[in-house]
């Protein structure tokens, strides 16, 4: 299982701002190791954010997203104390879900 994400969710006006920092190698599959062998691709493909069971953002990523990806977005609504759920799935089928409390 991959390392946990760092998620921060804050109420800003009438919206909730979510900032996520994920832990992932995001290997492109184009790099070579010291022996000249290609390092296989390993990256997050799907990301979804939900609040109260409703999807507030979904994304498809390619290997062009940086290592340890950062993501920030805002959605309308959301109150202090409520939870925001972020989950991702990578190309090896590994997945992780973390939640944060809106502050």
Partner 1 sequence: MNMNVKRREALKTGGSVTLFALIAAAGWAIPREAKAADSWNKAAFDTKTMDETTKALGGSTPVSSKDITFFQTPDIAENGAVVPIGVTSTIPKTESIAILIDKNPNMVAAMFDIPAGTEPSISTRVKMAQTSNVFALVKADGKYYVASKEVKVTLGGCGG
Footprint on this chain of partner 1 (rule: CB under 8 A): 15, 26, 28, 30-32, 45-48, 50, 54-67, 69-77, 85, 87-89, 91, 95, 97
**Burial of 35 by CB count in 10 Å (0-12 exposed, 13-18 middle, 19+ buried)?**
exposed
∠ CA 66-29-64, rounded to 5°: 30
Please state the closest distance from residue 49 (CB atom) to partner 1, in A: 9
User: Which C-beta is closer to partner 1: that of 2 or that of 85?
Assistant: 85
User: Which C-beta is closer to partner 1: that of 3 or that of 29?
Assistant: 29
Please state the closest distance from residue 53 (CB atom) to partner 1, in A: 9
């Amino acid at each position: 299982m991959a390392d946990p994400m760092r998620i921060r969710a804050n109420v800003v006006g009438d919206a909730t701002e979510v900032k996520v920092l994920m832990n992932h190698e995001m290997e492109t599959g184009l790099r070579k190791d010291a022996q000249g062998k290609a390092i296989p691709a390993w990256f997050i493909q799907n990301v979804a954010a939900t609040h109260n069971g409703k999807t507030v953002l979904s994304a498809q990523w390619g290997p062009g997203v940086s290592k340890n990806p950062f993501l920030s977005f805002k959605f309308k609504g959301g109150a202090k104390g409520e939870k925001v759920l972020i989950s991702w799935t990578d190309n090896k089928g590994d997945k992780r879900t973390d939640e944060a409390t809106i502050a």
